[in-house]
Chains A and B, each alone.
Chain A
Amino acid sequence: MLSIKNLHASVEDKEILKGINLEIKAGEVHAIMGPNGSGKSTLSAVIAGNETYDVTDGSVELEGEDLADLAPEERAHKGVFLSFQYPVEIPGVSVTNFMKTAINETRKANGKEEMPANEMLKLIREKSELLEIDRKFLSRSLNEGFSGGEKKRNEIFQMAMLEPKIAILDETDSGLDIDALKIVANGVNKLKNENNAVLVITHYQRLLDYIVPDYVHVLMNGKIVKSGGKELAYELEKKGYDWIKNEFN
């Protein structure tokens, strides 16, 4: 599904990713853990095509297609989804209107007709139920005045609407209380199937109790320094990142 090879990326000539290799197959959940400043968010931004970062070497491929020359929206059209750590506010644009635009632009790019209104409504109803979202919420301006939890739930709602191939959840657990965390995780689990994949980026092990990864990778100083099964997350939680740091120094 997603294949990252020797990925190097820098911002303002400062190298942040220093040769990442990662292979995610359809149906898998991968988690990337690491201390602050290790490059976790840079990795997600680079996969999504954020132009702030320069890719200096290596490649990101989605189903065998190199994404290097694709604009962020083109990557989205092909099924890359990023749940933002800090979702932005767009005043005056309702969640519904935003989703309608996103879905129809994606359909247009893929040579499909616009989604009929009744189908759109049905989809909105179905997915908002999945994430236990009050429908009144959907007529509010996108992220404006949303609580931290509402913002994250809204991100996963958008993921549910867009049905991506690869969903990257960047620190989705931050700002969530335990109830909201369960709802969000439950949503992600229901959306997961044999044909898509999830990459969870997190600082803490907490979220991984609910979204159980097949593989855990530890990112440090721009490199994946250790990979393992879900037990690795527990070990990290217990011993802290210093344990690995020591192991590699």
Chain B
Amino acid sequence: MIHVYAFVDGLTGLPGRPGVEGAVLEEIRASGVVAVISRHSAPASGDPRAAAVAHGLVVEALRSAAESVLPARFGESFAGEAELGEAVAASGERIRAALELVRGCVELGVRLTPAGTVVAASSGRAYLEARRAQTSVVSALDERLETFTRAVASGAGERVYLVESASAPAAVEAVHAFAAAHPDVSVVCTGPWAPYSFGEVRA
């Protein structure tokens, strides 16, 4: 069984750390795409949280070992190289395009909660007014980060910005400045992370 951590381009070397359940990391090539994997004789049976952490640490380590990292969702596994090869062949064009998009980039997540949140809406009017406030705040943040942003995604109540690694500190500063200028909005910035939100690969 093969556990996939990420598809990469410009890999200079495998991270010097173990994979899920202490497995050895390998790089293999499938349909012209390099995948970082580990091999397992059976599905992981240990603590799933420990496995998820091990997976995430490998992906984060790959950020400094490759020009472009496209993380695979935790738990993506294949019976063998043939099955992985078929999956990559089916999505090869999409994977290559995504690798190009995220080249040299990381993602920043920003969760915005304006006063009077949608969650707390107690009436139809309150819901629409909260949505209007949220939309307006999101637009203002998009504008503030426009110069740093290569792509934007939305997910699970947050805005996710794809920015070049070198620009990440300045982008985080811009988010903090935005938070200071909007004291009525709760702003939580996370990252930089590997670009999970821009083409994450699933089996």
A and B, one complex?
Answer: no
A interface with B by C-beta (< 8 Å): none
